[in-house]
Chain A
Amino acid sequence: MSVLAIVSLKNGQPTKGGLEAASYAAAYAQAQGVEAVALVAGPMQSDGGLGATGIVRVLHCATELSDSSQWARLADAASKECGASGVVLTHDHTGRAIGPRLAVRLQAGMVSGVTELPNAGAVRKNVFSGKAMADVEVSSNTVVYSVTPNAFGVRDGGGTAEVSAFSAEVGEARERVTGFDPASADGQTPLPEADLVVSAGRGLKGPENWGIVEDLAKALGATTACSRPVSDIGWRPHHEHVGQTGITIRPNLYIAAGISGAIQHLAGVNQSKVIVVINTDPEAPFFKAADYGIVGDAFEVLPRLTAAVKALDA
């Protein structure tokens, strides 16, 4: 018996989400007294740091895969090989494509976006866009869970995992990847994985004013985001839009400048651990959801914050 983590790689290393899935799988395996195994596909050096998360054994498929159908077949074979009673993925693009396919193949119930380890036969996830939680029970013998990014954290307990080559009959690839546009040229952490996010809205008055947002983000090592109106009118790219119809994030710190805090925006950010709101309007609804607030002009406040962050590190 075992718990199997499906770990995606980027540039030969597990992604942060992949390490979180591995950490969750290891803790879940430990609680059940079974072995924690990880599956990776593509080039990777030694154990890729997976041993430190508590993974004991890594099944390493040398071929890089992007096709969700091939991945599901590989994961299906791997879970049979190690007798997995649970499979864990990250609730990102891979967990949304591979996990559900795998659940069908294994005839296993799947719960997506879990935030905690299972407790007394049920596992917790956020529902209603973060406005409530649900404890979900699965009736099948095997379960598939995908873990919400930034919810569980990465375990670092030292240790190395034993790596063995693994392959399976995965069929033809039907997707052909023909190109990739990086979200940002300057090496920012992708928004769904970011610990720190600096976001701004219409209060910034125009795209030419985003320098002060980017300066604070850079000083903090944060990722930039924006509200829906700002991406709709083209001041900022779509992939920066956080909120109900954009992307949902869960960083440690979310700083929002010049965003009033419409309910649709809150739905995308209300799971952030600490929320800071900067707005000229003391009645802005966002202050009700915030931990810290500054009633003031972003054009004055943001540069002061940037200077204070720089002074901190000096």
Chain B
Amino acid sequence: MKILVCISQAPDTTSRIAFTDGGKTFDSTGVQYIVNPYDEWYALVRGIELKEAHGGTVTTITVGGAVCDPVIRKALAIGADDAVRVDAEPTDAMQTAELIASYAKNQAFDLILCGKETIDHNGSLVPAMVAEMLDWPFIALATHLEVEGIEASLKRESAGGTEHVKVNLPLVLSASKGMAEQRIPNMRGIMSARSKPLNVEQGEAAAMSSVRQFSLPPEKGACKIIPADQAEELIRLLREEAKAI
């Protein structure tokens, strides 16, 4: 099975979020970048598990500059075989999806696995856009994936529950919680990642949207503490003051 996993870098969850340039640019000073958790924990690890079970290869693809190389090496250390970086500044989902789809078009992949969204832009757009550009089926928010021959059996989050779906390969999916468990790379993985191929490709595509301005939410007011032995007072406040119930 030939598997492509889309990998994005994202600021570590604990990063301080601030902007420069009058709110136009994310301030990356001192920010530690990680593999976007949904891409790593769910999409990449499930891809590697399927390769281990059925044979084949796992390739990762990332759109971005050389600054992304450390997180790509991390994905290789976890167990991907090789990596592609499309050397372009990712601007929006349409452009990123087009760069990924143009690369994937002639490579005969069976599966393209993506995380459900990145934790910076929270877009959740690239996976289905890639599917449409390739005219492949797409499963959003997949929590389970098994492959037998050319048939994939999946579960996905749906309104009020979990839907079971069968689809023939090739297929694009976006992975959500339940798909796989986090894998910590071992020393051998980290060593071998250094010599695995990381191919840089050129590509060009047009973006259709851009951020005009970032802003921070208003500060929360102080927390009102209610004594534990007057817990009933909380319910009164929730109804009369907060009007939440």
Contact = CB atoms under 8 A, between A and B. Distances in A.
B224 interface: yes
Contacts of A314: none
B108 interface: no
A277 B166 CA distance: 42
Contacts of B226: 292-294
Nearest to B156: A93
Interface stretch (A25-33, A39-47, A50-58, A126-134): A126-134
A101 to B, nearest CB: 4
Contacts of B156: 93
Interface string A119-146: 0001001111111111111111000000
B140 interface: yes
Interface in B200-245: 207-217, 220-221, 223-229, 231-232, 234-239, 242, 244-245
B188 interface: no
A133 B159 CA distance: 26
A49 to B, nearest CB: 17
Nearest to B126: A100
Interface residues of A, number: 96
A105 interface: yes
Given A96-B140, A101-B129, A293-B226, A127 B214 contact: yes
Contacts of B79: none
B159 A93 contact: yes
A309 B245 contact: yes
A253 B238 CA distance: 9
Contacts of B232: 304-305, 307-308, 311
A101 B177 CA distance: 23
B25 to A, nearest CB: 12
A109 to B, nearest CB: 3
Contacts of A135: 211-215
A269 to B, nearest CB: 13
Interface residues of B, number: 82
Interface string B49-91: 0000000000000000000000000000000000000000000
A203 interface: no
Interface stretch (A79-87, A155-163, A172-180, A207-215): A172-180
Contacts of A267: 13, 119
A290 B223 CA distance: 5
B124 interface: yes
Contacts of A178: 153, 164-166
A10 to B, nearest CB: 6
Nearest to B12: A263
A289 B238 CA distance: 16
A101 B128 contact: yes
Given A239-B157, A267-B13, A294 B231 contact: yes
Contact of A245 (B121, B135, B177, B216): B177
Contacts of A66: 163
A234 interface: no
Given A103-B94, A178-B165, A190-B160, A294 B235 contact: no
A23 interface: no
Interface string B191-207: 00000000000000001
B119 A110 contact: no
Contacts of A231: 177
Nearest to A310: B235
Contact of A176 (B167, B227, B237, B244): B167
A307 B234 CA distance: 12
Interface of B: 11, 13-14, 17, 19, 37-38, 41, 92-94, 97, 116, 119-129, 131-133, 135, 137-141, 143, 153, 156-168, 174, 177-178, 207-217, 220-221, 223-229, 231-232, 234-239, 242, 244-245
29 contacts: A10-B159, A69-B131, A69-B135, A69-B138, A92-B159, A96-B116, A96-B128, A96-B140, A100-B124, A107-B208, A112-B122, A112-B124, A128-B17, A135-B213, A136-B212, A137-B209, A175-B165, A180-B163, A183-B161, A241-B177, A244-B13, A244-B119, A245-B37, A248-B122, A288-B223, A291-B223, A300-B228, A307-B232, A311-B232
Interface of A: 8, 10, 15, 17, 66-69, 72, 91-93, 96-101, 103-105, 107-113, 122, 125-140, 174-183, 190, 196, 220, 231, 238-239, 241, 244-248, 252-253, 263-264, 267, 273-274, 276-277, 287-297, 300-301, 304-305, 307-309, 311-312
